[in-house]
Amino acid sequence: MEKKLSLTLVLILVLSLCFSPHTAASASQTALIPLPETGEMISGFKTVETGDMALINSKSVLFEHEKTGAKLLYIQNKDMDRSFDISFKTPALDNAGAIHVLEHMSISCSNKYPLKDLIFAILNQTYSTYANAYTRQNFTTYPVSSLSEEQLLKLTDVYLDSVYHPSVSNSKNLFSREAWRYELPDANAPLTLTGTVYNEMKGDLGNISSAAGQNVLHALFPGSIQSNIAAGIPDNIKELTYEQVMNFRNTYYHPSNSLMVLYGNVDYRRFLKHINDEFLSKYDKKEIAVETGKIAPLKEKAERTVKFPVAASSNTKNSSQIDYAFAFTDISEEDTVGLGILADILNQETSPVMEALKKSDIGGSYSVSFDAAFTQPILTFSAANADESKKAEFKMLIDNSMSNIISTGFDKTAVDAVISNTLLTNSNLAENRNTGVNLSMKIASMWANHGSLDYYNHLIKNIKTIKDKAEDNYFEKLLKKYIENNNHAALAITVPEAGLAEKLANTEKKHLSDLKAAMSKQELDKITADTKAYNEWNNQLPDPKIVESLQAVKIADLPEEVKTYKTNDSFTSDGVRLLSAEANVGETETSSLLFDTSAVPMKKLHYLQLYADLFGKLSTKNYTQKQLNTQKLRYLNNAEFHIANVTQNNARQYTPYFSISWMGIASEYDKQLSLVKEILLNTNFDNSKALLNLVRAQVSNLKSQYTNDPLSILLLRNLAQIDESSTYQNYISGLDYYNFLLKLEKDLVSNPKAAAAELKNINALILNKTNLVTTYAGNKNTIKNYEDSIKIITDALPKKKITSQDYGKLPKPALREGIAVDSTVQYNAISASYKKMGVAFTGKLLPIQTLIDQNYITPKLRFGYGAYVSIVSFNSNGILAASYRDPNIKETFEVYKGLPAYIKNMDLTQETLDRFILNAFSDYSAPRGELAGAESALLNCLSGEKAEDKLKILHEIKSTTVQDVKDSFAMFQSFIKNGSYSTVGSKQKLLENKDLFDEILSIK
């Protein structure tokens, strides 16, 4: 399944400050099981080596299964969100996507668990915190996690059964569903071609940045399998056969070709025994030759230009992508880390190469990236929204810039800032959700691409060594060796061609109609019969006993508890609010300043957003742009500057804040505050050239975002109807803002002073200690320092009365809206607030969210119509249903319109409902890191949410009944009647469905 969207991520767009709780891990925490000595045998596994993983404060043990050679890495720590992952090395021998289809088929059904949608049952109906599978360059990986050890053991069994014991009876239908199939409901209907992976890849490759990535691979690795797309190209996927997939499986899905990673606080001995007894003991060691496609370094730099299809109406001027990429052969672990940091140094907005690029007018925005997830890793310089005729200038500029750096040297303070930042970020990996899953997949990638299993054990040590060597021109030497003296490089130019999108779409349509016209009646009858048989198979309901057999946790066992943090909430003598939370961490802390922006007049809101986008990017009284960038990197880790609404009372009221947040080391807190003060008080808005460059880059970034990630703009606009806070967010940061920037880009040339005056005005409206809130999360001993030091900021601010402005008349998108972008697939959404639907939010709705997705929407949309992902998200404001990479529009909305009838006619038992309850409970209580948890406690103080509220929701989830589900019928009726409907997709498809929309607009 490549990509399942996180709903938290989706909603973060509009609810940037609403957090969910998590249950206490401590209640059931058990002591860690002692680790074995090297050489010790446990259930057929030999202990090969033990080590430390400083990265996440853990121990690691590498086991090798004697009979098969299968490797298993156990990472031991106290994390209760335990995970298991199995990976196989899988070379992309062509572009037909056999690897990807196999991944989808494996995870859909197994011999012991013969469901047709196994992964969705795990995801939606078990006590799991993560379940997915990914096709990556050179490997396929299957990660799963749970808060319960019993449940993880069960899911390990399910996952291993999926990869080792595939379903026999469902196999051919699964291939039709996941790869491709013809559809012909009756002899008069048009012949169509669909399939989950086919549509997924149409969407995945349907944007210019993916096309550019492919172009780079072809240029760097001509004729090698390294240039193949492991996940498949639609035109090749439709040639794929069932037999090819099975052959691939028989070759590579073998224990001798596998790596397992087990993570967290578990009795690893039980896992080893189960894995050996049920699976590995049945296999013998096998030699499996895995092609890597490694080629001899190119002797001469290559150049390659390809066309990218866009609609006839698209503006193709300055819309190309130019990439200049370098490949590396046989690099050491340390240099791999070094090249990653080097790319970060070069990617800084004020690095010498970026400064030179910004002066050039070659492109709209630039980036430097490093990717080690290839046999031969790649470092790429990119210009997006570029003028393709300037390709030679781009290459020369980079070559010259690299030579200059090598002779004059990097600014060592800038280098040191990047390394410190890398070290702090990597030392706090456990703050992110799904730590075990994320780490396991990274380890699998290094194993598959470089054969290394201890890259992450050595990572912190390697960063520290590089830090020591930096003074001695380590990075300059790296540049000389890997860039200046490296001919294994290529210039790849990807150019949009207007009208090619329609041409290809029409060719595809014509191909299918010609195909149909040429078929005999007998052939047509066969396809009609196949379509019918497929649909019958697809509509068969799953056997509830199989879903039941996935369970290892009972509802009665679920702990109704919320982890609490000790918080202090006080005011300084002049009214600034100080909020702090004690976290059980070392020296790391996180802080934020929230300035009330309600005094900004409605007409000036886009200048407020611009102010936030520019914050810290212009020079100040005491720092040049470059010095400031270095200081920010050094002291404000993970810094974010944005407009965030804090909502009270279910989002019907909100306060807009300009939020400055960062992570740092407690002993440097004063330096962090002094730096923020410098930006707040002393920013120079009068440098019109710098301003123009930043506005241009922002326009380019937004333009790329709309084409590469259409879902973001779809949700922003669709949800704008849900409440006033979302209307505000859409207006301030969505298409209205983009159009404002396009105009500003022109105005800045004719009247540069006007914009500076507006920004100064915003700065004056924000700089105020009235309604200022400051937050701090860190260890107990550092909180006093926070309370004392915050004066650095507060003493410098004026105290003024705020006149709150009325934002009640902000424009909203049409209730039924189509938005045309360059895309070969669609993204559809419908949403409505509880207020509009006349109901109130309760935790009892949360199990219904997954129930309708799993039992109704996903079978119809994904398995029926081939839409890649269905998103259903209920939060405390309202409900949303959306489709991702969808071939259709009308059919999808028809499926949503069938929701009330589905609820009315559903045959639901409490036993079935209980499984959705388990999953909703697990979702709502998924843990986060210690600091992140403390931060969320602070935000809850701010929005007035109490621990009791969360306990109430947990209790409501647990007590959901069949009658509650039936009672939601009226809500869904109202959802369909009062919801807002939006689609982002190809212009042609939107026009074919124009009756569905009040308005269709195109993004310029």
Q: Which residues bind Zn ion (CB under 5 A)?
A: 1-2, 200
Total Cβ atoms within 10 A of residue 914: 18
Cα 434 to Cα 429: distance, rounded to the nearest angstrom: 10
* Closest to 712 in 3D by CA, of 12, 2, 4, 3: 12
Cβ closer to Zn ion: 200 or 589?
A: 200
H-type helices in 667-780, by residue range?
Answer: 669-682, 688-708, 710-718, 724-733, 735-750, 752-766
* Closest to 394 in 3D by CA, of 492, 319, 316: 492
Amino acid identity, position 423: L
Total Cβ atoms within 10 A of residue 996: 17
As beta bridge partners, residue 869 has: 884
Beta carbon of residue 862, minimum distance to Zn ion (angstroms, whole number): 11
Cβ closer to Zn ion: 878 or 887?
A: 887
Q: Nearest residue by C-beta to Zn ion?
A: 2
Cα 500 to Cα 307: distance, rounded to the nearest angstrom: 9
Q: Residue 233 to residues 88, 108, 445, 729: CA-CA distances in angstroms?
A: 21, 21, 22, 37
3-state secondary structure of 648: strand
Beta carbon of residue 1, minimum distance to Zn ion (angstroms, whole number): 5
Interior/surface letters 445-462, b for 16+ CB within 10 angstroms, e for the rest: bbbbbbeebbbbbbbbeb
Burial class (CB in 10 A: 0-12, 13-18, 19+), 772: buried
Q: What is the DSSP string of 429-464?
A: GGGSTTHHHHHHHHHHHHHHHH--S-HHHHHHHHHH
3-state secondary structure of 666: helix
As beta bridge partners, residue 786 has: none
CA dihedral 798, 799, 801, 803 (to 10 degrees): 50
Q: Are strands 567-571 and 378-386 parallel, antiparallel or unpaired?
A: unpaired
Q: Residue 919 to residues 131, 436, 479, 721, 903: CA-CA distances in angstroms?
A: 12, 19, 50, 29, 20
Question: Which helix (H) or strand (E) is 949 found in, with range?
Answer: helix 947-958
The conformational region for residue 860 under phi > 0 = left, psi -120 to 50 = alpha, else beta, is alpha
Q: Are strands 489-498 and 320-327 parallel, antiparallel or unpaired?
A: antiparallel
Residue recorded with tokens 């890259």: 455
Residue recorded with tokens 């002899």: 187
576: Cβ contacts below 8 Å, ≥ 6 apart: 769, 772, 773, 774, 790, 794
Beta carbon of residue 779, minimum distance to Zn ion (angstroms, whole number): 42
Q: Are strands 826-833 and 258-263 parallel, antiparallel or unpaired?
A: unpaired
As beta bridge partners, residue 66 has: none
Q: Listing from the earlier edge strand, what are the strands of the sheet with 489-498?
A: 302-310, 489-498, 320-327, 378-386, 365-371
Beta carbon of residue 100, minimum distance to Zn ion (angstroms, whole number): 6
Beta carbon of residue 865, minimum distance to Zn ion (angstroms, whole number): 16
CB 794, CB 572: distance < 8 Å: yes
CB 1004, CB 700: distance < 8 Å: no
As beta bridge partners, residue 369 has: 380
Record the tokens describing residue 961, joined without a space. Answer: 């009944």
Angle (nearest 5°) at CA 238 between 235 and 242:
145
3-state secondary structure of 828: strand
Cα 387 to Cα 398: distance, rounded to the nearest angstrom: 16
Amino acid identity, position 914: D
